[in-house]
């Protein structure tokens, strides 16, 4: 550990402390501030003058009190005990703090991120004499019933295993010794990593698989890829949190990292209290057994909120490096950006658009660049992925504000939430005209395994929805009844798609999750309905007769029914009713 540089407090401006050190301290280092030893981070340096952002309230601090540069930046502690944790932005366990002090955390409370006393059963997977490099697995710990924690050689080490013994250890006990070129190093189950630096990988790979979420509008129309990045912008109450939680519950990611940068204290209390109760539909156990939550309570200083996103990403990368598919949700990145703005303001930096610092775009880029599907470190070829999903809460729902527009440049999927839809209780309120995905090719390759015509079917459905939007414009002026029947058919099918396919309740016993097989089968029945009624219109069958087909109601309720049978039944009813109508019309017109 490097030498501690000391100094004294010169000035205090809210959470920003100006300290004078005896010699130049280091940018990014952690500092113990004042007699209370509050934690802070050096955010700017001018020779021996350091600007320190405190993670906790600074009230009561006085000039002249000591500051100590502890010689390391903010790091994440990574190892057994991390799974299921609820920590704040600087990785202090909320549960422990909560139990100690309730929602208003006492300052200077010093808690190690990973439990130092708890013992874990370490089972080695390599032996003395084996050569290992950074990223290789040296052993495993069955951390929860569902989750095997792989103990990795830290990225920057390599050598020959001298000793390694299985048994019951704490995270800081020595489990073995590694002989390296620069001497012997004790191997422990815990490693640390500075949160603002991406963990190293061998290679970034092209994305090859969609992240399946079980949410139809996402998977079918605007899919995200494993290792991709997605933004969920939406005004107040449009369903950002519900969407992210649905994905946490139902997506096919192995591990979930959930970052709650809420600003209201009770919002975080909800997360802390409710999240551990959520059932994991995959295992029937609790979702928290494969989830880590980074949550900031309201009275934490902005800098802890700013740090939380990096803390979460670093934890996510650590599981990626074990070969898992990780999905990380940040709710919401706007709160993070506001923290950044607040810090920048205190530093008296020149503000750019909407008061955000000029480097906002660089920071957002840095965050989303840490998403990816990668070849992970280690002697063998292995893969892992980290998918980032960020909610954005633009003030007043205005998408032209800087955080939304900047985020747009760095993500691959944009799920635009719409207050109008939310108001009409069309949930998920993802606007199909304003959303987009850059991962269509990846998804199409995967979906065509279920159905070779997937891409065509999807394109047709989307076209019907888009055409309907244009036709509605006209209908608003001249009235729907004045439209030609082929256009009215488009409106009918679009309405069926909206109600019967796009709308999906997060709270309906069956509909909250829709398997890929069911999504394909459902979508096809809507497009087939369209394809087989269009010729009827051309034959001159009036739209009103088509509208009256009983099967329409049946089709629209299929989403709420289980199994394949109802879809098959509806399909044969549809065929019978449509041919009956065609025949009847032929007879009538003769």
Q: Which residues make up the interface to ligand ATP (CB under 6 A)?
A: 234, 236-242, 393, 427-428, 505-507
> Among 237-245, 401-409, 490-498, 528-536, which window interacts with Mg ion (CB under 5 A)?
237-245
Query: Whole-number minimum distance, CB 252 to ligand ATP, in Å?
Result: 19
* Residue 63 near residue 12, CB atoms below 8 Å: yes
* Residue 55 near residue 300, CB atoms below 8 Å: yes
> Can you point out the beta strands (E) in 353-433?
372-375, 383-392, 413-414
110 binds, among ligand ATP, Mg ion, none (CB under 5 to 8 A by kind): none
Cβ nearer to ligand ATP, comparing 384 with 397:
397
The DSSP symbol for 66 reads E
Query: Whole-number minimum distance, CB 240 to Mg ion, in Å?
Result: 5
Query: Whole-number minimum distance, CB 370 to Mg ion, in Å?
Result: 23
Is 230 a binding residue for Mg ion by CB under 5 A? The answer is no
Q: How many whole angstroms from its chain centre is CA 282?
A: 18
> Among 31-39, 240-248, 485-493, 577-585, which window interacts with Mg ion (CB under 5 A)?
240-248
Cβ nearer to ligand ATP, comparing 134 with 237:
237
Cβ nearer to ligand ATP, comparing 175 with 411:
411
Query: Whole-number minimum distance, CB 236 to Mg ion, in Å?
Result: 8
Is 296 a binding residue for Mg ion by CB under 5 A? The answer is no
> Among 30-38, 234-242, 407-415, 476-484, which window interacts with Mg ion (CB under 5 A)?
234-242
234 binds, among ligand ATP, Mg ion, none (CB under 5 to 8 A by kind): ligand ATP
Query: Whole-number minimum distance, CB 241 to Mg ion, in Å?
Result: 3
Cβ nearer to ligand ATP, comparing 127 with 557:
557
238 binds, among ligand ATP, Mg ion, none (CB under 5 to 8 A by kind): ligand ATP
Cβ nearer to ligand ATP, comparing 273 with 348:
273
Query: Whole-number minimum distance, CB 513 to ligand ATP, in Å?
Result: 11
Query: Which pair of structure tokens corresponds to residue 528?
Result: 């087939």
Q: Tell me the CA end-to-end span of the chain in Å, nearest whole number.
A: 95
Q: What gap in Å lies between CA 573 and CA 174, rounded to an integer? A: 69
Looking at 93, 170, 241, 303, which residue binds Mg ion (CB under 5 A)?
A: 241
What does the angle CA 561 – CA 566 – CA 572 come to, to the nearest 5 degrees?
A: 150
Q: With contacts defined by CB under 5 A, how many residues of the chain interact with Mg ion? A: 2
Q: What gap in Å lies between CA 571 and CA 579, rounded to an integer? A: 12
Burial class (CB in 10 A: 0-12, 13-18, 19+), 586: exposed
Query: Whole-number minimum distance, CB 425 to ligand ATP, in Å?
Result: 7
Burial class (CB in 10 A: 0-12, 13-18, 19+), 3: exposed
* Residue 287 near residue 278, CB atoms below 8 Å: yes
Query: Whole-number minimum distance, CB 390 to ligand ATP, in Å?
Result: 13
Question: What is the H or E stretch that residue 567 is in?
Answer: helix 565-589
Which of 283, 258, 251, 513 shows the shortest CA–CA distance to 391?
A: 258
- The residue with its CB nearest to Mg ion is 241
Query: Which pair of structure tokens corresponds to residue 550?
Result: 């009983």
Q: What gap in Å lies between CA 396 and CA 404, rounded to an integer? A: 12
Cβ nearer to ligand ATP, comparing 223 with 394:
394
Q: What gap in Å lies between CA 220 and CA 462, rounded to an integer? A: 10
Q: What gap in Å lies between CA 398 and CA 561, rounded to an integer? A: 38
500 binds, among ligand ATP, Mg ion, none (CB under 5 to 8 A by kind): none
> Among 66-74, 235-243, 312-320, 519-527, which window interacts with Mg ion (CB under 5 A)?
235-243
Cβ nearer to ligand ATP, comparing 242 with 462:
242
Counting DSSP H helices and E strands in the chain, the numbers are: 16, 28
Give the total residue count for the chain.
590
Interacting residue ranges for Mg ion, rule: CB under 5 A: 240-241
């Amino acid at each position: 550990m490097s030498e501690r540089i000391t100094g004294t407090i010169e000035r205090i401006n809210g959470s920003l402390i100006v300290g004078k050190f005896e010699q130049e301290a280091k940018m990014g280092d952690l500092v113990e501030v004042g007699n209370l030893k509050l934690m802070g981070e050096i955010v700017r340096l001018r020779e021996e003058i350091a600007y320190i952002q405190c993670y906790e309230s600074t009230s009561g601090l006085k000039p002249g009190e000591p500051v100590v540069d502890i010689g390391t930046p903010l790091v994440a502690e990574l190892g057994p005990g991390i799974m299921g944790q609820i920590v704040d932005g600087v990785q202090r366990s909320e549960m422990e703090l909560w139990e100690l002090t309730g929602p208003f955390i006492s300052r200077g409370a010093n808690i190690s991120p990973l439990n130092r006393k708890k013992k874990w059963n370490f089972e080695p997977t390599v032996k003395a004499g084996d050569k290992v490099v950074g990223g290789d697995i040296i052993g495993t710990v069955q951390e929860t019933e569902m989750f095997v924690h792989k103990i990795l050689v830290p990225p920057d080490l390599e050598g020959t295993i001298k000793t390694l013994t299985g048994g019951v250890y704490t995270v800081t006990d020595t489990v073995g010794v590694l002989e390296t070129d620069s001497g012997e190093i004790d191997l422990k189950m815990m490693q640390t990593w500075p949160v603002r630096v991406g963990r190293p990988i061998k290679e970034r790979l092209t994305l090859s698989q969609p992240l399946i979420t079980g949410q139809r509008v996402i998977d079918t129309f605007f899919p995200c890829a494993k290792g991709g990045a997605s933004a969920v912008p939406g005004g107040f109450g449009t369903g950002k949190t519900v969407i992210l939680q649905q994905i946490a519950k139902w997506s096919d990611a192995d591990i979930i990292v959930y970052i709650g940068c809420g600003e209201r204290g009770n919002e975080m209390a909800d997360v802390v209290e409710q999240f551990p109760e959520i059932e994991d539909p995959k295992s029937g156990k609790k979702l928290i057994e494969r989830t880590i939550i980074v949550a900031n309570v309201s009275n934490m200083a902005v800098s802890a909120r700013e740090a939380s996103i990096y803390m979460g990403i670093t934890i996510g990368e650590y599981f990626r490096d074990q070969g898992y598919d990780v999905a990380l949700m940040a709710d919401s990145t706007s709160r993070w950006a506001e923290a950044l703005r607040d810090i920048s303001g205190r530093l008296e930096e020149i503000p750019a658009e909407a008061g955000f610092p000029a480097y906002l775009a660089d920071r957002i880029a840095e965050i989303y660049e840490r998403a990816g599907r990668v070849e992970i470190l280690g002697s063998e070829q292995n893969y892992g992925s980290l998918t980032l999903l960020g909610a954005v809460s633009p003030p007043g729902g205005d998408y032209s504000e800087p955080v939304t527009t900047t985020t747009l440049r760095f993500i691959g999927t944009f799920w635009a939430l719409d207050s109008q839809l939310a108001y009409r209780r069309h949930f998920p309120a993802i606007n199909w005209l304003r959303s987009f995905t850059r991962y269509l090719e990846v998804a199409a390759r995967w979906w065509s395994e279920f159905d070779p015509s997937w891409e065509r079917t999807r394109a047709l459905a989307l076209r019907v929805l888009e055409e309907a939007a244009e036709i509605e414009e006209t209908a608003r002026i001249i009235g729907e009844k004045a439209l030609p029947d082929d256009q009215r058919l488009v409106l009918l099918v679009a309405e069926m798609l909206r109600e019967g396919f796009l709308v999906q309740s997060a709270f309906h016993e069956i509909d909250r999750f829709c398997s890929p097989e069911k999504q394909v089968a459902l979508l096809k029945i809507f497009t087939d309905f369209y394809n087989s009624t269009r010729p009827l219109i051309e034959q001159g069958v009036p739209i009103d007769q088509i509208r009256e087909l009983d099967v329409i109601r049946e089709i629209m309720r299929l989403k709420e029914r289980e199994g394949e049978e109802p879809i098959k039944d509806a399909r044969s009813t549809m065929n019978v009713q449509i041919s009956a109508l065609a025949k009847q019309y032929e007879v009538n017109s003769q």
